[in-house]
Structure formats: C-alpha cells, structure tokens
C-alpha cells in the first residue's frame, strides 16, 4: 500500500456555514460546501498521522473512525489549527505513551505558554500528553521508521507556516505566498499539491493566497493536480470549480488522494 491522504476539513477559520447558518455565496444544498476546519489525515499501512487539530478535530476523528494516531504535525500556531489539541489526550492514553508532535518553535512556544499541562505533568492524574520534536523549515524527518516527511516554509502574513511533503504529495497551508527558492526546491517533483487559496479573488487578503497566485506559483512548482483548500463561505464548490483550469480542483471534506 502507498499513502492515503484524507482531507478531514477544508474550511477557513470560520467553518462553513459560518456560525448562525451563514452560507454566504455557498449553495446550502451542495454537500461539498459544508466544511470543517482544515486538517489532513495521512496513512500508510502501519502509520497514521494528522496535520493540525482545529476545533472540529474530535468530530473529524469520529466521522473517519480514527482510533489510533502515531503522531501529530502542526503547520502553525493559529487557533483554527490548534484549538482541538486537548482531544489528542485519548490517543496518548490508547498508546500508553505521550503522542509525538512535530512543530516549529513558534507553535511550540504558543502551546507551552497557553496550555502547559499538555507538555508537562502538572498533577499526576493528568500526565503530559505530547512529546515534541521541533522541525526546521528545510528539513527531513521520519515517523515510525516508515513515513518520510520533508518541510518547506510558507509566508502567512506576519508569521511563517510549515508546509509538509510526503513523497509526491505536498500540503502547504496556511499561506499567502512563497518567496524562498528553497521552498520551490522542496516542492520540486510533486504531483499533487494541496494548497491554501482561501483569498479566492481578494488580493487584499493579508494572510491567504488568491486562486490566481496559486496558478502563478504552480508554473514553478509544476504539480499536475492542485487541490485548493482553506475555503470561506464566499467560495461555492460548483461555481469556483467552473472557473478553474484543468488540473485544479476545489477541496471538500472527506476527499481522498492516493499516492
Ligand atoms: Zn493561519
């Protein structure tokens, strides 16, 4: 078996519909418009990991019946990517050991400052549930002696996000742009690119990329399949799909990719 990727969620920070049943420009009758916060499940025959644990993490694990995890990876510290972190505790309990988290130093500082009990045993009834492995923007690591991962750096407004590559599939979010050639080097040769295009047509969005910017960047990356994610309620699945060139797709919750 190769790798299986499941897009657990593809929404921007609000989820779709936004609270208050606000569908914006999205057709409520199109099931692919119902979106939870961004997360990706990556599975090999022996290893299962998730990237990011937003507010919908527990629901996503229940929908996909994921009972065990070998590791969690974080792209960046923003709440819509980390708010569900407490729901990792059950995975540490099932593993009978803290779960390994791969994250950059900024995200580690954020967790240490906001939820120190996750990393340290403060009282014996609630043992630390994560061990951490700090990752650098242009590095490699292997999970479980099985899953090879390569990192790349992404510009996300005032912070840097960590992109991850698994073989010929890469996951790049959140991001407004890529400016470092080392990131293009790290992405060289991928076939499938799951990438933040949450700004849609709004060039003034300070933190997310427009569709046009991703199409420009892919002239260098050269992925044959580009899956756009981090989607707001302004991005209707069918309408936005009809505007895209061949090789570009709108993500939806539950979408799977095999490599
Ligand atoms: Zn973000």
Give the 3-state secondary structure of 50-115: EECCCCCHHHHHHHCCCCCCCEEECCCCCHHHHCCHHHHHHHHHHHCCCEEEEECHHHHHHHHHHC
Residue located via tokens 């309408």: 239
Residue 123 alpha carbon to ligand 1 centre in Å: 32
pLDDT at 162 over 90: yes
Residue 93 alpha carbon to ligand 1 centre in Å: 29
Residue 40 alpha carbon to ligand 1 centre in Å: 15
pLDDT, tens digit (0-9, with 9 covering 90-100), for 185-227: 999 999 999 999 999 999 999 999 999 999 999 999 999 999 9
pLDDT at 12 over 90: yes
Residue 32 alpha carbon to ligand 1 centre in Å: 22
**Helix, strand, coil in percent for the chain, rounding step 5:** 25, 30, 45
Nearest-5° Cα angle at 161, 159 to 165: 165
Q: Are 70 and 124 in contact (CB under 8 A)?
A: no
pLDDT at 1 over 80: no
Query: What was the pLDDT predicted at 72?
Result: 98
Q: Are 209 and 175 in contact (CB under 8 A)?
A: yes
Query: E strand or H helix at 248, and its extent?
Result: strand 248-250
Beta bridge partners of 200: 210
* Domain annotation for the chain: domains and CATH numbers: 4-258 (3.60.15.10)
């Amino acid at each position: 078996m190769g790798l299986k990727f499941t897009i657990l969620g593809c929404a921007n920070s609000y989820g779709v519909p936004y609270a208050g049943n606000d569908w914006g420009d999205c057709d409520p009758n199109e099931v692919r418009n119902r979106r939870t916060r961004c997360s990706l499940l990556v599975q090999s025959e022996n290893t299962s990991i998730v990237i990011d644990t937003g507010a919908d993490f527990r629901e996503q694990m229940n929908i996909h019946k994921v009972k065990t995890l070998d590791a969690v990876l974080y792209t960046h510290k923003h709440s819509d990517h980390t708010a569900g972190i407490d729901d990792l505790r059950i995975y540490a309990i099932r593993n009978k050991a803290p779960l390994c988290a791969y994250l950059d130093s900024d995200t580690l500082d954020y967790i240490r400052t906001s939820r120190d009990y996750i990393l340290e045993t403060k009282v014996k009834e609630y043992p630390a549930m994560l061990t951490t492995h700090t990752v650098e923007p242009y590095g490699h690591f292997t999970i479980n002696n099985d899953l090879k991962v390569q990192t790349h750096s992404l510009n996300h407004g005032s912070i840097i996000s960590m992109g991850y590559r698994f073989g010929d599939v890469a996951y790049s979010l959140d991001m407004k742009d890529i400016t470092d050639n080392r990131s293009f080097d790290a992405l060289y040769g991928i076939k499938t690119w799951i990438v933040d295009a949450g700004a849609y047509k709004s060039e003034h969005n300070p933190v997310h990329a427009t569709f046009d910017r991703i199409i420009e960047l892919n002239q260098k990356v050269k992925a044959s399949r580009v899956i756009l994610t981090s989607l707001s309620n302004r991005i209707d699945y069918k309408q936005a799909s009809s505007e895209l060139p061949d090789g570009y797709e709108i993500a939806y919750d539950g979408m799977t990719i095999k490599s």
